[in-house]
Amino acid sequence: MSDLINASLSELSAALAAKQVSSVELSTLFLDRIEKLNPIVNAYVTVDRARTLAQAAEMDARRAKGETGPLLGIPFGHKDIFCTEGWLTTCGSKMLSNFVSPYDATVVSKLKQAGVVTLGKLNMDEFAMGSSNETSYFGPVKNPWDTKRVPGGSSGGSAAAIAARLAPAVTGTDTGGSIRQPAALCGLTGLKPTYGVCSRYGMIAFASSLDQAGPMAKSAEDCALMLNAMAGFDERDSTSLQRETEDYTRDLNKPLNGLRIGLPREFFGEGMSADVRAKVEEALDQYRKLGATTIEVSLPNSGLSVPAYYVIAPAEASSNLSRFDGVRYGYRAPEYGNLDDMYAKTRAQGFGPEVKRRILIGTYVLSHGYYDAYYLQAQKIRRLIAADFVEAFKSCDVIMGPASPDTAFAFGEKSGDPVKMYLSDIYTISTNLAGLPGMSVPCGFGDHHLPVGLQIIGNYFEEAKMLNVAHQYQQVTNWHREMPAGI
C-alpha cells in the first residue's frame, strides 16, 4: 500500500483498472493518513469521511459498470476557495466559516464527472490573499519539509497536502502566484493556465481579471491529466474561452532539441537568494544537455509588476468584498432571518487584518481623485507588461527563471512587513497581469534541504508545450519524486 502514496496518477489509474485496489480502499488510505498527520500539518480544514467514502463507492460502481478513465476513482483535495456541494466552503475566512455550498464549482464538477473523489477541503490564506498561509482563519499550514516554515500561499494547504502525501493531487488557484510559489516551496509541480482556460464559476473571487484555477501534483504528467479534466468552456463564466478541446498530454514525449529558452535579464538580477540561483542555473544546464539553447531576453517593465498588482488586485477585491453579504455565493443561513439582519451579522463577523488592508487600498485607489493617479496608471502598466512578453516570445519558445526569490521562510519572518511578503511573488505576478500560463517545477534543494522551484512561462495557450518541457526534465531528474523525511 505504501507505494500507492507515492504513485503517479497513471500508476493509480492502472492499479484501479487492474483491481489491485478499489477507490474506497485508496480513499481510506489517504483518509487514514490525514487523520494521523493533519494535526501536524493543518493542510485540511474540512474532512468528511462518510461523504468521501460514499463518493468513492459511487466511482467503484461506475467502474464495475464498465466505465474507464484516467482519473476514475482517484481521490483529490480541493482548495477551500472552490464551492463543493454539501461541504463547507470557507475560503479561509471567518466570514464563510459556516457556509455550506449548495452547488459545485465548474472545475469541481468537471473533475467529478471524470471520476475524482473529494478527500476534503484545503486550508488557504483568507480569500487567497497571502504568500504564507499565515492569514487563514483556521491557523497556519506547516511546510512538511520543515514544520517551522511556511508552505507558501495562498494555496498552502494544497501544496502541503501533496508534500505530506495526504492527497495524490489537488486543485489550486493563482491570482499572483498562489499555485507556483507554494508548489516551489513544497517541492511540487503546479500549473497556472492561460487566463480563461479553466472556468471561474463557483471559485470564490479574489481579483476576477487575474484569478485562474490550476492543477498541483507531483509531476508534469499528473498536471496534464488533471488539466484535461479541468479545462474547457463554461457559459456560466463570461471570461471562459471557447476553444477546441485539447489533450494536454499530447506533447509530453517530444524531444527538446532546438527548444529556445528565454532568460529575462530582470529575473536574474538582485533579489534572488544564492541557493535558488544555483539550482535554477543547474536546471538550465540540464536543459542544454537535453538539446535546448538559452538566450537572454528582456521584460523591461517587470519591475513594476508588484506595484501594479497591488493596485489592481485590491481594487477588484474591494469591489467584491466591501459589499460582501453571503448572498452573492447563493446561500442564506436560516439563522440570519431577513436580509438586513444577515448583512449586519456577516459584517460583524469581520475580516482578518490582511483582507481589511486590501479593502482599504482598493477603496482608496478607486476613489475620486485617486483613480487616475493609481488605478488607471496600473492598468497602463499592465498593458506594457503584456507587451514585453509579446516581444520576448518573438525570440524564444518558453521563458524560464526562479518561481520564488527564496525557499520556504520561517513563520513570522515576513508577516510583519507587507512589502517583504508581497515581494514573494515578484517572479510570478507579471504572468497573471499578462494572462499567460506559468508553471513551477522542482529543481533541487537549497540551504537546509528546502525545495527550489524552476518557473516555466509559456506563450498564450501553450500549456501542452510547457508540460512537455517540464516532463522531459522530469524524465532525467528525480527532484519531483523526493518526499520530506519523516512523512
Helix (H, G, I), strand (E, B) or coil at 382: helix
Told to check if 305 binds ligand GLN by CB under 6 A, we report: no
Pairing outcome for strands 75-79 and 117-122: parallel
Looking at 164-230, list the stretches that DSSP marks H as alpha helix, in order from N- to C-terminal side. 180-186, 220-230
Pairing outcome for strands 212-217 and 169-174: antiparallel
Part in contact with ligand GLN (CB under 6 A); list of ranges 8-16, 32-40, 168-176, 407-415: 168-176
Told to check if 316 binds ligand GLN by CB under 6 A, we report: no
Q: What is the DSSP string of 289-321?
A: HTT-EEEEE--TTGGGHHHHHHHHHHHHHHHHH
Part in contact with ligand GLN (CB under 6 A); list of ranges 26-34, 174-182, 336-344, 368-376: 174-182
For the beta carbon of residue 75, count every other beta carbon within 10 angstroms.
Answer: 26
Sole binder of ligand GLN in the list 38, 131, 430, 468 (CB under 6 A): 131
Nearer to ligand GLN, 114 or 210 (CB): 210
Told to check if 205 binds ligand GLN by CB under 6 A, we report: no
Pairing outcome for strands 398-402 and 260-264: parallel
For the chain, the 3-state helix, strand and coil shares in percent, each to the nearest 5, are 45, 15, 40
Angle 476-482-485 from CA coordinates, rounded to 5°: 160
Kindly write out the interface string for residues 265-304 of this chain, putting x where it contacts ligand GLN by CB under 6 A and - elsewhere: ----------------------------------------
- Give 460's strand partners: none
- Least Å distance between CB 124 and ligand GLN? 8
Nearer to ligand GLN, 26 or 272 (CB): 272
Sole binder of ligand GLN in the list 203, 313, 378, 457 (CB under 6 A): 313
Told to check if 166 binds ligand GLN by CB under 6 A, we report: no
Residues 7 and 482: their CA atoms lie apart, in Å, by 12
> Is the CB of residue 131 less than 8 Å from the CB of residue 120?
no
The DSSP letter of residue 472 is H
**Which residues are designated catalytic?**
79, 154, 178
Q: Which CA distances in Å does 274 have to 160, 406, 419?
A: 24, 9, 21
Nearer to ligand GLN, 33 or 414 (CB): 414
Told to check if 433 binds ligand GLN by CB under 6 A, we report: no
- Give 458's strand partners: 398
Sole binder of ligand GLN in the list 140, 172, 176, 190 (CB under 6 A): 176
Told to check if 130 binds ligand GLN by CB under 6 A, we report: yes
> Is the CB of residue 231 less than 8 Å from the CB of residue 240?
no
- Least Å distance between CB 317 and ligand GLN? 9
Helix (H, G, I), strand (E, B) or coil at 238: coil
> Is the CB of residue 287 less than 8 Å from the CB of residue 473?
yes
Part in contact with ligand GLN (CB under 6 A); list of ranges 51-59, 172-180, 443-451, 458-466: 172-180
Part in contact with ligand GLN (CB under 6 A); list of ranges 122-130, 197-205, 341-349, 403-411: 122-130
Told to check if 240 binds ligand GLN by CB under 6 A, we report: no
Nearer to ligand GLN, 30 or 310 (CB): 310
Q: Which CA distances in Å does 172 have to 141, 200, 205, 384?
A: 15, 12, 13, 28
**Helices 220-230 & 9-17 angle (0-180, nearest 10):** 70
Count of chain residues binding ligand GLN (CB under 6 A): 13
Part in contact with ligand GLN (CB under 6 A); list of ranges 175-183, 282-290, 377-385, 389-397: 175-183
- Least Å distance between CB 407 and ligand GLN? 16
- Least Å distance between CB 323 and ligand GLN? 20
Kindly write out the interface string for residues 62-101 of this chain, putting x where it contacts ligand GLN by CB under 6 A and - elsewhere: ----------------------------------------
Nearer to ligand GLN, 204 or 256 (CB): 204
Give φ, ψ of 440 to 5 degrees.
-125, 135
Q: Which amino acid is at 402?
A: P
Sole binder of ligand GLN in the list 37, 129, 191, 423 (CB under 6 A): 129
Told to check if 189 binds ligand GLN by CB under 6 A, we report: no
- Least Å distance between CB 369 and ligand GLN? 25
Told to check if 178 binds ligand GLN by CB under 6 A, we report: yes
Nearer to ligand GLN, 420 or 481 (CB): 420
CA atoms within 13 A on the CB side of 231: 27
- Least Å distance between CB 306 and ligand GLN? 9
Sole binder of ligand GLN in the list 69, 70, 156, 177 (CB under 6 A): 177
> Is the CB of residue 65 less than 8 Å from the CB of residue 101?
no
Give the list of residues 6+ apart from residue 17 with CB closer than 8 angstroms, or none. 63, 68
Which residues are near ligand GLN by CB under 6 A?
128-131, 154, 174-178, 206, 313, 425
